[in-house]
Amino acid sequence: MAVIGYARVSTHEQNEARQLAEFEKRKTDRIFLDKCSGKDANRPQLKKMLEYVREGDTVIVTEYSRLARSTSDLLSIVEQLTEKGVRLMSVKENLDTSTPQGKLMLTVFAGLAEFERAVILERQREGIAIAKAQGKYKGRKPIPFDAERFRSECAKWRRGEQTAVDTMKKMGMKPNRFYRWVREMGV
């Protein structure tokens, strides 16, 4: 029966030391650490952790928002762990997910984590709008575009001399940008 720690920070600049210190106190046998957003459950170390755990193991997180920001993702992860006979423990919330009361509280905390993420995104949008109004935020720099070359390469594509994919590669474009320009330029 192993004690497994799962930590997550949203960016490479953020520090996971607080989470790791909690795991050290609890003498975890192994730690999985993701440095990416919790907006979805498609995270490499989370997947490895879910594959690694066995019946009787305990997974520790410092708080449920480290495991998932979406209520449905959190409940899905908890369900996967439960099906494998793995106990989940959160240091901050201190819940037992094996009881009906614990499951109810887990759902409440998951909803709060999802709400917190939505508020963060809203604040970010508001901050960008204010910075734009003050002339401090210009957005990302436009990608250079050579209209003449684009028309020439598209003509080759339309004549069947090259595929659309080849044309995109030559122009250094992704499909959404490529087809948008095809529509806008009428080529």
Is 65 annotated as catalytic? no
Q: In sequence order, which ranges of 53-99 are alpha helices (DSSP H)?
A: 64-67, 71-83
Query: What pLDDT does residue 28 have?
Result: 94
Query: What pLDDT does residue 84 have?
Result: 93
Query: What pLDDT does residue 78 have?
Result: 87
Beginning with the edge strand found earlier in the chain, give each strand of the sheet holding 87-90 in spatial order.
30-35, 3-9, 58-61, 87-90
Query: What pLDDT does residue 3 have?
Result: 95
Query: What pLDDT does residue 101 have?
Result: 82
Query: What pLDDT does residue 98 have?
Result: 67
Specify whether the CB–CB gap between 6 and 45 falls below 8 A: yes
Q: How far apart (Å, rounded) are the C-alpha atoms in residues 166 and 145?
A: 17
Query: What pLDDT does residue 107 have?
Result: 80
Query: What pLDDT does residue 118 have?
Result: 87
Query: What pLDDT does residue 49 have?
Result: 96
Please give the structure tokens belonging to residue 56: 């009787």
Boundaries of every domain in the chain? 3-118, 147-185
Query: What pLDDT does residue 4 have?
Result: 95
Fold of 3-118: Rossmann fold (3.40.50)
Distance from first CA to last CA of the chain, Å, rounded? 64
Query: What pLDDT does residue 90 have?
Result: 87
Q: What is the mean pLDDT of each run of 10 residues along the chain (187 residues)?
A: 92 83 92 86 92 94 85 85 90 77 80 83 90 83 84 93 93 90 88
Which is the catalytic residue, given 10, 70, 72, 90?
10
CA distances in angstroms from 110 to 47, 73, 119, listed in the order given: 19, 9, 14
